[in-house]
Structure 1
Amino acid sequence: MSRSVLSREEYLDRWSTLHGGYDPRTSRIVGPWLTVVHAVATPFARLRVPPDVVTLLGGLVSVLAVWLCTLGDRWVILAAVVVGLSGLTDSLDGAVAVMTGRETRWGAVLDSVVDRVSDVVFLVALWVVGAPPVACLLAGVLLFTQEYARARATAIGMDDVGVVTIGERPTRVIVVAMFLLAAGIYPASASFWASLGAWASVGIGAVALVQLLIVVRRRLT
């Protein structure tokens, strides 16, 4: 039976409240991304699918991308599609929780853990296709440093999200999916495209970390 769920505008307002008052409509990336997420999450919310189930589903889907990359050739195209679906699925759990009023602290922790696992899996996928291990490792270090800094700043008083950097989750998903797609379309130069994806992730991670630390210092001093 259909149940009442939050409309798109209500969802964006609630998301803003939960993320320190940041309005996603002001971002050309976050706003459109959340609009898509809301549309896809609506059926799950109406069916009352538990948010934690959706969280774990997103993690499992991300692992599938690595397996597809090990097959090589045109299978990498499908891996790129799976990465995109994983990123979308990963965002669904929070949307379902918000739209049905089932946000929990445990759900937030589980979501963060699965997010980090998926981030590592994406970099592993680039490595499997041919990206240099050092680039994948450096991208991972920058990513985890950014997320750790955000978590520590939040723990001592800064609003969650508060800062939307160039290296947020949607950007990371899009970058990996885009370069895997190129690697699948041009299998003869797959390692080249995977390498570009890994180094692009390094560049984005470095800029994002600087952006975050500048704002954190301004707000907490």
Structure 2
Amino acid sequence: MLNVLRPVVTRVLTPLGRALASRGVSPDVITAIGALGVVASALVFYPAGHLFAGSLVITFFVLADLLDGVLARLTGKPSTWGAFLDSTLDRLGDAAIFSGLILYFVLKDEPEIVLAAVALFCLAAGALVSYAKARAEGLGMEANVGIAERGERIAVILVAAGLSGLGVPYILAAGLWLLAAASGVTVVQRMVHVYRQAVVR
């Protein structure tokens, strides 16, 4: 769903990409900076309870996930290694975001264990969503289906956490439960999709 916004964001980031390309900045450097920024922000801001500030800073670094692609196209240096690095560090960033929220729930004066467990489920289900697609492609099939791809998952959790940090009640819990359900459905959708391809073969 959020893929429709990608061309717009790409156009916005293109001037910055040109400036970086003119200075010889590698797309891999942008990928690494973005991932490290997400990890550090999530593990510093969220456990401390700074949900709004954390979500803003994480969003800034998440944009590097698009900027590295823009830079790679402008420099004519898209590579298999770059794609692998980007996907691998995406998983690291996702893990940091949900780990930060889990720590936030556990470290509160009155720990919210249920929500910590839901966040843990979201982390595991999100990893399964990505793994199902990667494994299918490794077997010569595709699994690019589902209602909760990575972009949607990250958008939901960042918006929910950010609004919660602004004092909107129950929004973070609602976002986590919604995300848990959507991620679980997406895992099943991808499994069914791959099964149908395998049976046809």
Q: TM-score range by the shorter chain?
A: 0.7 to 0.9
User: In structure 2, which of residues 9, 21, 44 is the aligned counterpart of residue 67 of structure 1?
Assistant: 44
Offset at 1:46? 4.4
> What's 1:173 paired with?
154
Unaligned 5+ segments in structure 2 are 106-111
Q: Is the Cα contact below 8 Å between 1:126 and 1:198 reproduced in 2?
A: no
Matched, 1:118 2:101: no
Matched, 1:152 2:135: yes
- For residues 216 and 42 of structure 1, the distance between their equivalents in structure 2, rounded to whole angstroms, comes to 40
TM-score by length of 2: 0.82
Is the deviation greater in 37-46 or in 58-67? 37-46
Q: In the alignment, residue 120 of structure 2 is paired with which amino acid?
A: L
Q: Is the Cα contact below 8 Å between 1:126 and 1:136 reproduced in 2?
A: yes
- For residues 205 and 41 of structure 1, the distance between their equivalents in structure 2, rounded to whole angstroms, comes to 32
TM-score by length of 1: 0.75
Matched, 1:107 2:111: no
> What's 2:195 paired with?
217
Q: How many residues align?
A: 187
SS of residue in 1 equivalent to 2:148: coil
| CA offset digits 1:131-170 (Å, max 9, x no partner) | 63321221122111121111111011125xx624221121
- For residues 172 and 34 of structure 1, the distance between their equivalents in structure 2, rounded to whole angstroms, comes to 19
1:199-214 correspondence to structure 2 within 5 Å: 199-214=177-192
Unaligned 5+ segments in structure 1 are 1-27
> What's 2:102 paired with?
127
Q: Is the Cα contact below 8 Å between 1:87 and 1:173 reproduced in 2?
A: no
> What's 1:23 paired with?
none
Quickly say closer, same or farther: Cα 1:57–1:211, change in 2 above 3 A: same
Is the deviation greater in 209-218 or in 172-181? 209-218
